[in-house]
Amino acid sequence: MQYSEMTAKMAAGKGFIAALDQSGGSTPKALKGYGVEDDAWTTEEEMFGLIHEMRARIISSPVFTGDKVIGAILFERTMDGQVGGVPTPQALIAKGVVPFIKIDKGLEDEANGVQLMKPMPTLDALLERSKALGVYGTKERSVINSGNAEGIAAVVKQQFEIGAQVLSHGMMPIIEPEVNIKSETRSECDEILLAEILKNLDALPEGQQVMLKLSLPIVPGTFDPLISHPKVLRVVALSGGYARPEACVELSKNKGIIASFSRALLSDLRSQMTDEEFDASLGEAIDAIYQGSTEKAEAAAAA
C-alpha cells in the first residue's frame, strides 16, 4: 500500500484498528493476561521478547487481515522486530493492515485534573525511522481525569503541537486525549474536550488532517461534530477499561466511530492455546469489534 492508499483505507475502510502497543509498565500486566507469569523472564529483554512473540502470533494469525482489521498500533520495539522474517510494519502491510507507532513516553503526574505527556526529545529521529520502515502514522496518549477546563485545554494544546510535528514528517497523527471513564465529571469532560478539539482543528492549516482516538462518550453522539469535520480523517474509540461486550455495545451507539481496542481485543487470548484455539478466540473478538464498528444501533443510525 502506498501512503495515498493507506489514507483512503483510514478514511473509509470498514473495520477497526488493533492497539498492539502496550509498553513499559503495562507489559507485565499484558503478559499475565495472556497467561505468562512474572517468573517466565528474568530480564527486560526477555520480557519484551515474550510480548513480541504474542504480537507476532496475533499478526500471523489467518484471521488477522485487512478485511476487518484496517490498522494496527505498534510499540517501538514491536516495530523494530520481525514477523515471519520481515519487519513488522511490512508484515502488516502485506496483510492489508495500516501500521501506526505509539510515540509517547508515558504520562506526567496529574495536575489540574489531567496528565500531560512526558517530553519526547528524540521524537524527530523516531519519526524518521518509523517512516522509513513504512509506518503510516502515530498515536500519542494523554489522560483527562476531571472536568478542569484549564487542564483539558493544556492537554489538547500539547496533543496538537505534537500532531503538528508528526505532520511535518509526512505522517498521520492519532491524537488521543483519553477521558477516564471512571471520572465523576465524565460528561463535563466530554463537553469541554469537544470544544477544545474543535478550536484546535479550526486552527490547523488548510489541507491538513488528523485522526482522533477518544473515550466513548457518556452521551452517544457527543462527538458527531468531529466525525463530520473536514480536518478529521477518522474518529476511533478506545475501550478504556470496558469489557469487550460492553465496549462493543457503547461503540455501536456512536455512528461514524470505529474501534481502536487493546484489552477488549486481546482479553481471551492465552499462550497455552493451540493455534486452532488461538485463531478461533481471536476471530471471535475481531468479529465482535468489527460488528460494533460497522453496524450501528438503530437509535444512533436514526440520530
- Looking up residue 51, the CATH number of its domain turns out to be 3.20.20.70
In this prediction, residues 185-212 reach a mean pLDDT of 97
Flag the least confident range among 107-116, 270-279, 289-298.
289-298
Question: Who wins on pLDDT, 303 or 17?
Answer: 17
Whole-number Å distance between alpha carbons of 193 and 186: 10
- Give a yes or no: residue 131 inside a domain: yes
Whole-prediction pTM:
0.94
Residue 99: its H or E element = strand 98-102
Band (303; pLDDT cuts 50, 70, 90)? very low
62-71, 162-171, 192-201, 238-247: least confident range: 238-247
Q: What is the mean pLDDT of residues 136-154?
A: 97
Domain membership of residue 3 (yes or no) is: no
Within a domain: residue 8? no
User: What is the rounded average pLDDT of the residues 270-290?
Assistant: 97
Per the listing, cell 500500500 goes with 1
- The three-state secondary structure class of 98 is strand
- State the amino acid at position 228 in one-letter form: S
Domain span holding position 259: 14-302
Mean pLDDT of 92-103: 97
Residue 1 lies in a domain: no
Show the DSSP H helices in 61-120 as ranges.
76-80, 88-94
pLDDT band at 202 (very low <50, low <70, confident <90, very high): very high
Minimum mean pLDDT among 18-32, 45-59, 106-120: which range? Answer: 18-32
The confidence band for 299, taking pLDDT boundaries of 50, 70 and 90, is: very low
Find out whether 176 and 138 touch, Cβ atoms under 8 Å. no
Structural domains in the chain (count): 1
**Mean pLDDT to the nearest integer, 117-125:** 97
| E strand intervals along 156-296 | 172-179, 210-215, 232-238, 257-261
Whether residue 4 is contained in a domain is answered as no
In a domain, 5, yes or no: no
Give a yes or no: residue 186 inside a domain. yes
- Output the pLDDT for position 27: 81
The residues that are catalytic are: 176, 213
Report if residue 6 sits inside a domain: no
